[in-house]
Copies of this chain bind each other. A is one copy, B any other.
Amino acid sequence: MLIREATREDWAAIWPFFHGIVAAGETFTYPTDLGEDEARDWWLLAPPHRTVVAVDGTGTVLGTAKMNRNHLGNGGHIAGASYMVDPACSGRGVGRALCAYSLEWARTAGYRAMQFNAVVETNTYAVKLYESLGFTVLGTLPEGFRHPAHGYVGLHIMHRAL
């Protein structure tokens, strides 16, 4: 697996699984009907922020991550990141590799911590992954997310010092 800069040409490979994940409405606080043009603008970030893809030996896109500043001004030393992995490629360590990469990016870029603003508490796969990489739950917004199957569930705010 290789992690490299995402290009606009990668979008055609990202959008199918991106769209499926967002439309399912179980893990992201994005509009479930988010259109492709807006989605592309949200996801493919310009420098100094970054968007990457994880690809296999054949060049197939397995997943993607975006990395950005999470607070401005005197909170500007706090980074944020988001990840999407093609469900067809789950279980291959793609999410872990993308998360570890984003932590290294943030550290190198001079950020002092990474914060996730809204991790759906029923997304236990992601929560456990983040915890295994050193994140802790700072707090949980009660009933912050209306899950299509579970109803109102919490949104974790997660943090890892760098």
Contacts and interface: CB of A to CB of B under 8 A. Distances in A.
Q: Which label, helix, strand, loop or mixed, suits the secondary structure of the A interface?
A: strand
Q: Specify how many copies of this chain sit in the oligomer.
A: 2
A22 B74 CA distance: 10
Interface stretch (A6-14, A100-108, A142-150): A142-150
A85 interface: no
Interface in A19-46: 22, 25, 28-32, 34
A74 B29 contact: yes
A99 interface: no
Contacts of A146: 74-75, 77
A85 to B, nearest CB: 19
A161 interface: yes
Interface stretch (A56-64, A86-94, A113-121): A113-121
Interface residues of A, number: 38
A90 to B, nearest CB: 21
Interface string A51-78: 0000000000000000000011111111
Nearest to A155: B75
Contacts of A78: 141, 144
Contact of A74 (B25, B112, B157): B25
Given A22-B73, A113-B142, A117-B117, 7 more contacts: A29-B76, A31-B73, A78-B141, A138-B140, A139-B139, A141-B159, A142-B161
